[in-house]
Chain A
Amino acid sequence: DTGVSQNPRHKITKRGQNVTFRCDPISEHNRLYWYRQTLGQGPEFLTYFQNEAQLEKSRLLSDRFSAERPKGSFSTLEIQRTEQGDSAMYLCASRPDRSSSYEQYFGPGTRLTVT
């Protein structure tokens, strides 16, 4: 069991550039979640997938954000035309579809810095 992995771990970009992050969930975990965490705050929900279907999106997910999970395995989160306010830690989590506790397993996160 390799756990949830995220790449890259750190990303520095200039304002206006596009960035893409990748999340590889624990194998056989059908559900995959994206969160954003800013300094001094808890994780805030962005979106989640059940297999390849994107089932829910937060109001935090502006039009510049898009997430995909094309084959129901790994997922990508893209931010277009980055802004300084996008600087945050982006966390991915996964869990089995049939889980009695709804516990999520988190990856190490991707820290984005927009200059």
Chain B
Amino acid sequence: AQSVTQLGSHVSVSEGALVLLRCNYSSSVPPYLFWYVQYPNQGLQLLLKYTTGATLVKGINGFEAEFKKSETSFHLTKPSAHMSDAAEYFCAVSGSPRGSYIPTFGRGTSLIVHP
């Protein structure tokens, strides 16, 4: 079984401030972890992913995330928020003993950026 918990349904930051979106996961097998972004009335776009290897992964638009196995976490950060970062962010875990690797998504965190 696998699950994702995203702490905070809404995160509000000022433009230029640090962005931190939290994600904790549960998986019975070594997980693949993803962060997706969704703009209104659009599909999901991949920001970054962790599969194996380096635990700090860099993605698009200046985002990065660190896989911490001991904490079962995969938090998303960005040093300086832009107005264009305002969107819904989803963390997902994918890992299946049966090999289907169907992802389970968190409930999402809405990022609000104030001028």
A45 part of interface (Cβ distance < 8 Å): yes
How far, in whole Å, are A40 and B101 apart by their CA atoms in the complex? 24
Q: Is the interface on chain B under 10, 10 to 19, 20 to 34, or 35 or more residues?
A: 20 to 34
How many interface residues does A have (CB within 8 Å)? 24
Known contacts A91-B43, A106-B45, A107-B43; decide if A101 and B103 are in contact (CB<8 Å): no
Closest to B94 in A: A102
Task: Tell me the total A-B contact number using a CB cutoff of 8 A.
Answer: 56
**A contact patch SS:** loop
In B36-77, which residues have CB < 8 Å from any A CB? 36, 41-46, 49, 51
Measured between beta carbons, the chain B residues less than 8 angstroms from A105 are 46
Known contacts A40-B107, A43-B90, A43-B105; decide if A101 and B43 are in contact (CB<8 Å): no
How far, in whole Å, are A108 and B106 apart by their CA atoms in the complex? 19
| Minimum Cβ distance to chain A for residue B76 (Å) | 14
How far, in whole Å, are A3 and B27 apart by their CA atoms in the complex? 30
